[in-house]
Amino acid sequence: MGEFVRLEVADGVGTIRLDRAPVNALNNQVQAELGEAAREATDRADVRAVILYGGEKTFAGGADIKEMAAKSYAEISTFGTALTNSLTALAEIPKPTVAAVTGYALGGGLELALTADRRVAGDNVKVGQPEIQLGIIPGAGGTQRLARLIGPSKAKDLIYTGRFVKAEEALALGIVDEVVAPDDVYSVAHKWAAQFANGPALALRAAKAAIDGGLDLDLRNGLKLETSLFTALWATEDQAGGMASFIENGPGKATFEGK
Active site residue 131: yes
Strand order of the sheet with strand 13-18?
Answer: 5-10, 13-18, 49-53, 97-101, 118-122, 178-180
Beta strands in the chain (DSSP E): 5-10, 13-18, 49-53, 97-101, 104-106, 118-122, 126-128, 165-166, 178-180
Contact between 66 and ligand CO8 per CB under 6 A: yes
241 binds ligand CO8 per the rule CB under 6 A? no
Q: Determine the Cα–Cα distance for residues 199 and 238; give it in Å rounded to an integer.
A: 9
- Over the window 19 to 38, marking each residue x when it contacts ligand CO8 by CB under 6 A and - when it does not, the resulting string is ---xx-x-------------
In DSSP notation, 65-113 reads: HHHHTT--HHHHHHHHHHHHHHHHHHHT-SS-EEEEE-SEEETHHHHHH
The residue range among 137-145, 153-161, 187-195, 248-256 that interacts with ligand CO8, by the rule CB under 6 A, is 137-145
How is residue 123 annotated by DSSP? T
List 63, 121, 155, 179, residue binding ligand CO8 (CB under 6 A): 63
Contact 9, 158 (CB under 8 A): no
Among 55, 80, 182, 222, the residue binding ligand CO8 under the rule CB under 6 A is 80
Is residue 140 within the footprint of ligand CO8 (CB under 6 A)? yes
Please choose, from the candidates 189, 157, 162, 185, the residue with its C-alpha nearest in 3D space to the C-alpha of residue 173.
157
CB of 11 to ligand CO8, least distance (A): 33
| Nearest residue (CB) to ligand CO8, 148 versus 205 | 148
**CA geometry: angle at 121 spanning 204 and 152, to 5°?**
75
Cβ 106 to ligand CO8 shortest distance, Å: 4
- Min CB(254)–ligand CO8 separation in Å: 43
Q: Is 55 left (phi over 0), alpha (psi -120 to 50) or beta?
A: left
Q: In whole angstroms, what is the distance from residue 207 CA to residue 223 CA? A: 13
Is 115 an interacting residue with respect to ligand CO8 (CB under 6 A)?
Answer: no
Among 2, 14, 62, 200, binds ligand CO8 (CB under 6 A): 62
Catalytic residue check, 111: yes
**Total residues contacting ligand CO8 (rule CB under 6 A)?**
23
Q: What are phi and psi of 115, to 5 degrees?
A: -75, -15
Residue whose CB is less far from ligand CO8, 40 or 111: 111
Q: Is residue 87 a contact point for ligand CO8 (CB under 6 A)?
A: no
For the CB of residue 77, give the shortest distance to ligand CO8 in the complex, in Å.
Answer: 7
Give catalytic residues, as residue numbers: 111, 131
Can you give the binding site for ligand CO8, defined by CB under 6 A?
22-23, 25, 61-66, 76, 79-80, 83, 104, 106-108, 130-131, 134, 138-140
